[in-house]
Amino acid sequence: MPLYETVVIARSEITQAQADAVADAVTTQLETDGAAVKKREYWGLRNLAYRIKKNRKGHYILLGLDAAPAAITEMERQLSLNEDVLRFMTVRIDEISEEPSVILSRKSDDRERSFRGPKPAGRFETGRKRGFDEREEFRARDEFRADRDDYSAEEEG
C-alpha cells in the first residue's frame, strides 16, 4: 500500500486530550479499513500563520499512514465533517522516517538554549528600556530632593 503523511490542525479551544481523541478516531477508522498508522506525533499548540475560522492557534498532529487511497479518501471526509478540525493536509511520500520530525527536534533545541547571555546596558532588570525621565541625572536629582526633604523634616522635629 502507498505511504502518506497527514497533518491535522485542531481548534485551540479544545484540550490536548481532545486533540488526541481526534487522532484516535482517525486511527480507529483507518484500522477498520485495513490501514495502519506507522507514526504519530503531537506537535503542540502552535501559532497559525493567519486566522482560520477566528482561531489564532491550533493543535498540530502528524500521522504517518500506510493505507489504500480509498481509506485516505474516507479519512479526509471524516476530518472535514469534524468541527474541531480546522485544516488537514495529506501528502503521499516514499517512506516514513522513524526519527522525530524536524518540528519536534527543533523544539528540543529551543529548550536547551535557556541562557541568553548578559542583559544589554541601558535596560532594567525586566528588559524594559529606560524612558526619558528615568535617565541617571534625573534619578540623581530626585534622590537629592528626597534627601533634602528628609533633612528639613529633621530640623523641624
Residue 102 pLDDT: 83
Taking residues 100-117, what's their average pLDDT?
67
Query: In the predicted model, is pLDDT for residue 113 greater than 60?
Result: no
* CA pair distance 76, 6, nearest whole angstrom: 10
- The burial class, CB within 10 Å (0-12 / 13-18 / 19+), for 57 is middle
pLDDT band for 23, please (50, 70, 90 cuts).
very high
Q: Are 42 and 16 in contact (CB under 8 A)?
A: yes
Query: In the predicted model, is pLDDT for residue 74 greater than 80?
Result: yes
User: Residue length, the chain?
Assistant: 157
Q: pLDDT (tens digit, 9 = 90+) per residue, 88-107?
A: 999 999 998 888 888 877 76
Say which residue, 40 or 1, is predicted with more confidence: 40
Query: In the predicted model, is pLDDT for residue 148 greater than 80?
Result: no
> What residue type is assigned to position 17 of the chain?
A
Domains and CATH numbers, the chain: 3-98 (3.30.70.60), 122-157 (no CATH)
Q: In this structure, what C-alpha cell is assigned to residue 42?
A: 503531537
* CA pair distance 76, 88, nearest whole angstrom: 8
Residue 110 pLDDT: 58
* CA pair distance 23, 142, nearest whole angstrom: 62
Alpha helices in 56-135 (DSSP H): 69-81, 102-112
